[in-house]
Amino acid sequence: MTFSYYDKVVRGTETEDNLVILQFLKGMVGQVFSFLNYYKEIPVSYDARLLSVENGMVEFEVHEYQAKVITLEKKALIRAHEKSPVSDDLVGDVFYVNVARKRAILTNFHYARIRSDLRRFVRVCLEGHRADADLHCGNEVIAATVRDISLGGVALRLSAEVPDIASDAEVNLILKLETKDAASICEIGVAGTVTKIVGDAPDLTCIMEFHPDRHSQQALAYYINQRQVEIIRELKEFAA
């Protein structure tokens, strides 16, 4: 799992930053912090109470759902506290999690700048679901699979040799998305612009921004909402 929702910030050295953060946290025992993790691209954010700081280990009382996702991501983002002397967010590695007791112990802290908060749309992961796409670029039709999707755009995995696709290329996309009961495939046509190509052939990721018409926007909104409900249900049922 790629934990790529933030940019790392180094103020001194990593060791110095960790010590400064721990010193700050020692004075904040009993205070409430806002945690942030992601489960299949859905943000999971609850308040957590700082219980203790000892030998570089910081124990928090966390929400059950937060504990479940921390178990998976092995890290936790903490939004900058109003009493913090700096404006940066924090991130810590997981040392221990007990979902039943709603406890999490973090260590190895550093500063961060959460960039996933800048997202304009809710993004959902389509892992485990059939989600294919045909990318119409000029006279070429390129087969792809959908990694994640939002009302604003999509990340496509291109697994075959493909012609060069330039950033800013205007393309048409036919999404073929498995319905909730897996009984049929929902096809949605949408126009868009390629904003970034990441990776090397034969494993490329194409990031695309949508320019949906009213019909495709409604179809996308309905599908994404249904997928969001499924993911939240999975999280509730997930046994850490």
pLDDT tens across 69-116, in order? 999 999 999 999 999 999 999 999 999 999 999 999 999 999 999 987
**Is residue 140 over pLDDT 60?**
yes
Looking at residue 220, its pLDDT comes to: 93
41-65 burial: b if 16+ Cβ within 10 Å, else e: bbbbbeebebeebeeeebbbebbeb
- Look up the pTM and report it: 0.81
Looking at residue 1, its pLDDT comes to: 36
Looking at residue 81, its pLDDT comes to: 95
What are the pLDDT digits (tens) for 172-228?
A: 999 998 876 666 788 999 999 999 888 776 678 889 999 989 999 999 999 999 999
Looking at residue 3, its pLDDT comes to: 44
Q: Which two tokens stand for residue 143?
A: 């087969």
d(CA 212, CA 30): 48
**Residue at token pair 């002397």:** 85
Which among 46-55, 134-143, 178-187 has the top mean pLDDT?
Answer: 46-55
Which residue, among 67, 118, 88, 69, has the nearest Cα to 11 in the 3D structure?
88
Domains of the chain: 6-118 (2.40.10), 124-237 (2.40.10.220)
Is-contact 60 29, C-beta < 8 A?
no
Q: In which element (H, E) is residue 22 found?
A: helix 14-26
Strand partners, 187: 176
**Residue at token pair 């900058």:** 80
